[in-house]
Structure 1
Amino acid sequence: MEVSTHKLFAPPIYPGAVRRRVILDRVLQDNSLRVTVLQGPAGHGKSTTLQQIKTAHEARGWRTAWLTLDDADNDPRRFESHMRALVGLMRGGAAHPEADAAWVGDAPPDLANWMLDSLSGMETHASIFLDEFQALRNDAILRFFRFLLSRLPAHAHVFIGSRSLPEIGLATLLVNRMATVLRADDLRFTPGEVTQFFAESKDLRVSAEEVGAIYRRTEGWPAGLQLFRLGLGSPEVRTSLVDPEDHGPRELAEYLTDNVVTLQSPRIQEFLFKTSLLRRLSAPLCAAVTGFDDAQDILEQLERSGLFVRALDSDNRWFKYHGLFSSFLADSLHRSSELEVVSVHERAARWYLAQHLPEEAIYHALSCRNFSLAAAILSEWSSRLISNAELITLERWYDRLPFDHVANRPVLAIKAAYSLMFLRRRAKLRPLVDLMNQHAGCGDILQTTSPDLCRAMARLLFEDDLHAALDIIDRPEVLQQEVSGFPAFELGAACNVLSFGRIAAGDFEGARKSLMLARAHSERGAGSFVMGYTTAVSGARLIVQGKLNEAIERYRADMLAQHAPLDKSFAPAVMAAAQIWALYEANDLAALEPLCAQFQRGISECVTLDFIALAYVSISRMHDARGRSAEAQEVLEELERMGHDSHLDRLVSLADWERVRRAVLAGELDRATALAKRIAPVCPPLNPQWIYMADDMEGEAFGRIRLAIAHHDHALASQLIARERARQTGRVYRDIRLYVFEALMLHDKGSPNGAHRSLRKALQLARPGRYVRCFLDEGRAIVSMLREEYQHFLQSAADGQAPADPDRDFIELLLAASGTDLGQPRGRHHLTDPLSEREKEMLQFLANGVANKEIASRLFVSENTVKFHLKNIYSKLGVSGRVQAINAARTLRLVS
């Protein structure tokens, strides 16, 4: 990511600036404050005061860093890059990110934790200065600050300058005495400071009466004072001091600005008016819009004279006018000559374009209503924006273009559509999809002018129509082309969609080949959007096929293997969604919970329907497993809202069927039946043999089987199970679920032998992948049957007839995860010897239901080492296996 280094440069302290002693004493005397906010309208000296605080901290030997925020920082990717650069400078590095940005839709803890670690590692006090904070409006970024500021270490301090009071959790910080707010009245100059301010300008000879009049007129407003100091050379301004008429700040500033400008030579006035339209100034740019070849000398002269111009870097290459000053100058130019306004913006746009600075070029092109030029610039720039995952930036400029200028540029229309799809902007996307439908079958993928692949993605993401998407993209002659750049992105995304279809159809080998092709396109420059989805779908394919452990290992390996972290907003969200499903099924709730907290909002914003459903149902069930029923219900309500908001009926249905499951397990059969009757039917796949990925976890098929068993309608349950079993082969995860249902049905029917045969078939299928929750989520009856199976093993061992059955260890794992007590007297447990720290760590893993292989992976030891420690633990606890060890540990309060 590019970093605008001028944003990291603090404004200089100019000669004659009044030292804000009262404010400095207030801020510097209390180092317990973590956050200080300077809040006031434009012209209240926030930046100057922040700079004085920064200088005072540096004199104490503190580490400091400065960042001036702007509207572009509402794109999380760009924001993160500048925050990382800021920390890099504070730690003595260069003004570039120390690590590639990896912001996720709702993953502020990721960046915040990195920053907190960086700040905590500093051996001295550190202060961060953030100016123009009011420019930030992005909810995710504001959440990031709420997270960060509430956890700052004692030696870290953040100072914020803002025109409005920022939504960063200030109320809590103030109550906890971690923050203070200096408002406009605090920032105003005192009468003594006003006297000192004018005493520095001895050549003006300002009398005490005039100073008093100025103070009364400005009420200590710093910008007004500076304007008076600049304008007192005008007799009219001096005369106005005896005028009793009161003016508000804006009228006063406009009046003074006019007088200040009239004191300048005609040539300087021309320079000021024309360059006032520029958001930042450099000598070559100013020369391009004014024709003056001495622009550098003029800029430096204006800065020295205090005429509201400040340098943005130490080399005096870039400058900026004070916002109030430039806005009044620009208003005057608009009133005097609209043609000149257009000419300045046009020249500025061309200059920025020649310098390869597209954002500034687009701004000026739009300002002079040259929409054709702006669209051309954005069309070229959009490839880089998508590659860098700066989708919000692309959306921001797309919103400012008239639609017909986008429609006339197929490349821009397609790239904008992809951006809006990933941002889930349904209403904005609709006109683009309608446009592309009119041109179906046209264009060339290599030129990025074919709308077909984009149309297919829209059909999948916004209409949940996988069949229609596959009808468009299942074209081997297109998908197998060797391309690079943006076409590779499109083809890689299309291959991922194709793999969805192959998995739904049960063609797992075809899915594997499609995923390999997607990976190949990603490696040819498709960007990590493609790679993130490829990884997620690859793991999901393994889970469906009964290879849960392999899927979890692949997710971890793929994330670790990324040399350049996944771009950078949304690919990690879909990977997290798939990993949440996998970790939940493995009952690794300890690893699952932080992942949910980090990625839940991102998943809701940018992930395909099936992964949203799988993640949200897993998160809801995790809350239930932790005893948080209200939170589980809230997650389902959010899932339902997403379904309604996005017009995705299948999401609503999945949320409702999950409610039915919860009601059945709670013994509320009447409520479960009533809920099921109210669930609106959804359109089934055109091919009745297809099974959507989310339906392998929950949905109507499983819900109706569960209800039939609860109603003791064994004939219907048997019929439904047989029908589902006949739909496909090779879906091992689904087969496990169906055998569990069959065991429950036979148990309820009073056929214990048949029930245990079906349960053992489920165990045999689940054991290699270590599936856990698909057993435990069906309630107490399954746990009771597992206990019976385990008691059979124990009895056989007591009789000396213990068979070498691999299911025993797996049943121990399941029972340990269920928290079941096999009946050992509680008082008999005691430790023969104290546990080591490593043994305590392993005991906690046992309590969380983590398998031996996974424990070895997490602790970076061999599986044999794990077994060695477990034998020691069993010996010290006086038990013979996992379940007994967990029961003993809980009795002795060794684990939570």
Structure 2
Amino acid sequence: MKIAVPAGFVPLPLNHKILPPHAHRHAVERSALLARLFRDVAERVVVFQGPAGHGKTSLMLQAQAASASGGALTGWLSLDESDNDIRRLLGHLQALLTVLGSQSPTPPNEDYAGSAGTITPRSDWLIGRLLELGRPVALFLDDLHAITDPGALRLLRELITNAPDRIRWFLASRVVPEVGLPRLVVGDEALVVSAEDLRFSRAEMRHVFDADRGLSVSDTELDAIFRGTEGWPAAVQLYRLALGSASVRHSLASGCGGAPREVADYLAENVLGQQPPPVQDFLLQTSVLSRMSAALCDDVLGRSDGQEMLASLERDGLFVRRLESGEGWFTYHAIFANFLQEQLARTQPEHRVAVHRRAAAWFESQGQLEEALHHHLSAGDDDRACEVFDHWSDALVPDGHFATVDRWSHRLPADAATRRPGIAVKLSWAFTFLIRHEQLAPLLPVLRANLARRLIEGDPRLALSMAAVLQDDPARALEYVAHTEHREPTSNRFRNFELAAGHNVRGFVGMMRGEFGPALHSLAQGRSLSERSNATFTLAYSLVHSGLTLVAQGQLPEAVEHLRGAISDRRMVLEESVSKACLACALVMALYEADQTGDALALFEQFHDMIVEASLHDYLVVCYRAVARIRDQRGELALALETLEEAERLSYNGRWPRAVQLIQGERVRRELVAGRVDRAQTLAARLQPESRSDTDDWVRFSEETDGPRIGRIRLDLHAGRAAQALDEIGACLAAAQRQGRVHRQIRLQTLAALAHHSLGQTRPAHRCLQLALELAAPGRYVRMFLDEGPALAALLRAHANLPAAAPENGAEARALLGRLIEASGTAPAPADTPWRAAALEPLTKREHKVLAMLVDYQSNEEIASALCVSRDTVKFHVRNIYSKLGVKTRLEAIRVVKTSDTTGR
């Protein structure tokens, strides 16, 4: 049955997450704690840490009001389990920025992504937009303990640790959050308000009871309450509600006590027992709702007094809090909700199921599929739950919310994928992009069993093709794609997403087969469909494969520009997926080939964590191979080995034996270039025997210039088997020329030059080297020559003494030759030299002033006004400063200044 969504439906707003809840009217003002938080020299990070019921949210609300009265813009985000999907978390942070922008006369630029071509870290992007607001900002993150995903925690840690002083963070968590607190506390940048600090003092407890005019508590009773609750705010509020009970008063007089948790359960039972039956019934049955509105409560309970009941509960302080939402949403305090749910399950289990079932239907009618799914599963309605999940995942998968798909997959019935093959399709996409081999494996037989069926919920062949790419089997991937129907774009977003991925697979395999024209055509179609379905991560695949095709065809500058533009596209700034990791890997490799080694290493460090968690086989190899070579070049031999070891470990973890072989092959190359032939042969002998993965007609991009075949050629050459090497080179070269693989031809011609030189064939050696130079010159390939070590460097110097080349592009080749000779004579940097410890060139006096103002977070307009110059002049100085510091963004410049005094102040 199709999910019914009303015409003109607009989902419920996220106000309950990005706006603060209403303050409880019985909340105690925590004056002493607030004084600590807002003293003259205040920490920029404040953590309220304590178990449930310790008043963290109430204190946060008071801190927010104090921040706003002090002139700061304030933003609130209530976190929950769903925010462990980093893409959803980023979406909520963007919504929070919009709220802050509405408070500011200078809202941040929606399209801001730094300067054109700048690869902006996502944390810098978010912080930059906060700084654009032009005022101090106080951000409040409630229930931070709900975040357990390493990626989400890392994002928050980046934001919190890198933010400047004008951005203050207030965090509430039941546990100490893993956001870099130890270093912040040691540096006097963070204050932790513990559970002990959050407990009520005796004076604060007196205020709780005196504020309720209907209560009269003696000092003796107050002392008993203080002993029984140990100042636990939730238990104190329960006493306030329960003191109308004679048994509670008697327990105070008799001195009966117990642990605070036991006291809380006892009090909650008394609080519930004091309510009239209609209120008790309302409390119990609505307790299973994570949030409530009058309309929802009326529908679920079959009554019409939901608005009056919720208002009354809020007024009486019955642990009901109003969420900031135009729809009038409320929620119970966790402790009271848990007690009520236990009572309902014990006394009215049939009502519990009925409430869940009616709530599921109501949320489904509103298009709130996640909450509908929760209630369907809680009611035991597995068939309906599967149907809702199948429909919801039509949006989740193109949106890249794979972590959400994964989280809910654990709650679905075990046979969900066989019940509905569409679910198997959606789950397989998620597990493929999450690189989850174990979870993907049981889905593959289900997909194969449904190949003959034409499913409207998804195409098993396309899902299987992408799974084959993950499993490093492109031939099988192409086989599945070849049997899919060719269809035009449709109005079905998920179908367009599938078609985009299918075109990407065709382009990926076409690139390997040297069919570059058809490959680029397929990738262009994939890009168009990705944009149509608003699927950023499939768009990234189209872009990265197009860039790699340019590299293979000898168009390195165009490839670098294309890949740099792709990863700096504002749509990619907040992208978090396998495809972005692959895009970063490809750009690292392209920058390295262009000898932009500093940029390549900086990019690797920026995206390292994402690459570790999400990069695939070939991408991982080309990236780590480039980084290891950069570190070798800089004399950082131990770091180079560590880089290769990490790549090998990741390849083993990813179950990619071919990638392991390629990394081990890089170890052999290092030994050969260093002249340690015996050691290289020993390492080569240890490689697992395997059929060739690079043939004349099928070359993966990771093996284009350094695959097993070229590895064997290089080994033969250095081991004195030059004639054998030349035979193999000839076969490879003929295929590379036929397919237009310029990149591969450059490598083969350089090896041929070395082979001829080894055999004493001087003229053929220089002819091959000249051909390599002419092929490389238009694309300015540098590392292709320098990677072959001293032997080729010597041949290059000898080549420079020959008469100038006659061909049309001889001048370009000559210029490249001069650059190569200069680069090959450059000594590696000392291993212990920090690459950005200070300015690469001295700053002028004016640049010192501009940098000092940048460090103070002044805008370009403010700097221009203070220095009486134009904004364009400020931009000119800023560009020069960035260049001299070796940075690309304002925040990077500030970090350099914090570690090295380059401002001269």
- TM-score normalised by the chain length of structure 1: 0.86
C-alpha change, 1:97 and 1:440, in structure 2 (3 Å) is: farther
Q: 1: distance between equivalents of 2:144 and 2:723? A: 66
The DSSP-based 3-state class of the residue aligned with 2:74 is: strand
The DSSP-based 3-state class of the residue aligned with 1:539 is: helix
Pick one of 787, 802, 809 that aligns with 2:815.
Answer: 809
**Post-superposition offset of 1:190:** 1.2
User: Residue 782 in 1 paired to residue 792 in 2?
Assistant: yes
User: Residue 333 in 1 paired to residue 340 in 2?
Assistant: no
User: Residue 142 in 1 paired to residue 153 in 2?
Assistant: yes
Pick one of 71, 81, 87 that aligns with 1:71.
Answer: 81
2:694/2:709 contact within 8 Å kept = no
Pick one of 412, 429, 442 that aligns with 2:440.
Answer: 429
Pick one of 112, 128, 146 that aligns with 2:139.
Answer: 128
C-alpha change, 1:806 and 1:314, in structure 2 (3 Å) is: closer
**Post-superposition offset of 1:754:** 3.3
User: Residue 491 in 1 paired to residue 502 in 2?
Assistant: no
Correspondence for 1:479? 486
C-alpha change, 1:220 and 1:98, in structure 2 (3 Å) is: farther
Q: 1: distance between equivalents of 2:687 and 2:280? A: 71
Q: 2: distance between equivalents of 1:791 and 1:199? A: 98
The DSSP-based 3-state class of the residue aligned with 2:162 is: coil
Correspondence for 1:742? 752
2:618/2:701 contact within 8 Å kept = yes
C-alpha change, 1:53 and 1:743, in structure 2 (3 Å) is: same
Q: 2: distance between equivalents of 1:101 and 1:601? A: 24
Q: How does 1:268-667 map to 2 (within 5 A)?
A: 268-313=279-324, 315=326, 317-444=328-455, 447-462=456-471, 464-475=472-483, 478-484=485-491, 485-525=493-533, 527-558=535-566, 569-667=577-675
Correspondence for 2:64? 54
C-alpha change, 1:766 and 1:754, in structure 2 (3 Å) is: same
The DSSP-based 3-state class of the residue aligned with 1:491 is: helix
User: Residue 763 in 1 paired to residue 773 in 2?
Assistant: yes
Deviations 1:821-842 (A, max 9, x none): 8xxxxxxxxxxxx99989x9xx
2:589/2:623 contact within 8 Å kept = yes
Correspondence for 1:831? none
Q: 2: distance between equivalents of 1:116 and 1:776? A: 40
Q: 2: distance between equivalents of 1:59 and 1:562? A: 35
Q: 1: distance between equivalents of 2:54 and 2:404? A: 30
C-alpha change, 1:439 and 1:616, in structure 2 (3 Å) is: same
Q: 2: distance between equivalents of 1:270 and 1:100? A: 51
Count matched residues.
Answer: 813
Correspondence for 1:241? 252
Moved more, 200-209 or 482-491: 482-491
Q: 2: distance between equivalents of 1:210 and 1:399? A: 49
Correspondence for 1:29? 39
Correspondence for 1:853? none
Pick one of 805, 818, 826 that aligns with 1:820.
Answer: 826
Letter of the 1:539 counterpart = G
Q: 2: distance between equivalents of 1:101 and 1:425? A: 34
Q: 2: distance between equivalents of 1:98 and 1:478? A: 43
C-alpha change, 1:174 and 1:697, in structure 2 (3 Å) is: farther
C-alpha change, 1:14 and 1:437, in structure 2 (3 Å) is: closer
Q: 1: distance between equivalents of 2:565 and 2:432? A: 28
Pick one of 1, 11, 19 that aligns with 1:9.
Answer: 19
The DSSP-based 3-state class of the residue aligned with 1:631 is: helix
**Post-superposition offset of 1:483:** 3.5
User: Residue 215 in 1 paired to residue 226 in 2?
Assistant: yes
**Post-superposition offset of 1:565:** 7.3
The DSSP-based 3-state class of the residue aligned with 2:485 is: helix
Q: How does 1:852-891 map to 2 (within 5 A)?
A: none
**Post-superposition offset of 1:206:** 0.3
Letter of the 2:295 counterpart = P
C-alpha change, 1:137 and 1:97, in structure 2 (3 Å) is: farther
Moved more, 288-297 or 230-239: 288-297
Letter of the 1:358 counterpart = L
Letter of the 1:461 counterpart = L
Q: 1: distance between equivalents of 2:18 and 2:158? A: 23
Letter of the 2:302 counterpart = G
**Post-superposition offset of 1:651:** 0.8
The DSSP-based 3-state class of the residue aligned with 2:590 is: helix
Deviations 1:553-606 (A, max 9, x none): 333455577779786634433322222221111112233233222333334444
Q: 2: distance between equivalents of 1:65 and 1:566? A: 20
Letter of the 1:643 counterpart = S
Correspondence for 1:204? 215
The DSSP-based 3-state class of the residue aligned with 2:303 is: coil
The DSSP-based 3-state class of the residue aligned with 2:331 is: strand
Moved more, 75-84 or 401-410: 401-410
Q: 1: distance between equivalents of 2:127 and 2:527? A: 35
The DSSP-based 3-state class of the residue aligned with 2:397 is: helix
**Post-superposition offset of 1:396:** 1.1
Correspondence for 1:882? none
Q: 1: distance between equivalents of 2:726 and 2:796? A: 21
Letter of the 2:49 counterpart = Q
Letter of the 2:155 counterpart = F
In structure 1, stretches of 5+ residues that fail to align are 798-802, 822-833, 841-860, 862-868, 870-896
User: Residue 694 in 1 paired to residue 705 in 2?
Assistant: no
1:65/1:128 contact within 8 Å kept = yes
**Post-superposition offset of 1:341:** 0.9
**Post-superposition offset of 1:732:** 1.2
Q: 2: distance between equivalents of 1:454 and 1:101? A: 35
C-alpha change, 1:254 and 1:90, in structure 2 (3 Å) is: same
The DSSP-based 3-state class of the residue aligned with 1:150 is: helix
**Post-superposition offset of 1:733:** 0.7
Deviations 1:489-535 (A, max 9, x none): 22221222122222222222332332233334335437333322111
Q: How does 1:837-856 map to 2 (within 5 A)?
A: none
C-alpha change, 1:804 and 1:218, in structure 2 (3 Å) is: closer
Deviations 1:622-653 (A, max 9, x none): 33334333333233222222222222111110
Moved more, 346-355 or 175-184: 175-184
Q: 1: distance between equivalents of 2:313 and 2:822? A: 76
Deviations 1:456-485 (A, max 9, x none): 2212212x222222222224x723544452
1:488/1:526 contact within 8 Å kept = no
Letter of the 1:810 counterpart = L
Letter of the 1:744 counterpart = L
Correspondence for 1:886? none
Pick one of 92, 110, 113 that aligns with 1:82.
Answer: 92
**Cα RMSD, aligned residues only:** 2.9
C-alpha change, 1:539 and 1:118, in structure 2 (3 Å) is: closer
Letter of the 2:587 counterpart = Q
1:483/1:524 contact within 8 Å kept = no
2:540/2:566 contact within 8 Å kept = no
The DSSP-based 3-state class of the residue aligned with 1:770 is: coil
**Post-superposition offset of 1:140:** 1.1
Q: 2: distance between equivalents of 1:277 and 1:124? A: 41
Pick one of 680, 688, 694 that aligns with 2:688.
Answer: 680
Q: 2: distance between equivalents of 1:189 and 1:487? A: 57
C-alpha change, 1:781 and 1:685, in structure 2 (3 Å) is: closer
Q: 2: distance between equivalents of 1:566 and 1:113? A: 11
C-alpha change, 1:100 and 1:259, in structure 2 (3 Å) is: farther
Moved more, 565-574 or 453-462: 565-574
Moved more, 776-785 or 655-664: 776-785
Q: 2: distance between equivalents of 1:708 and 1:442? A: 52
1:486/1:526 contact within 8 Å kept = no
**Post-superposition offset of 1:552:** 2.1
Q: 2: distance between equivalents of 1:97 and 1:405? A: 45
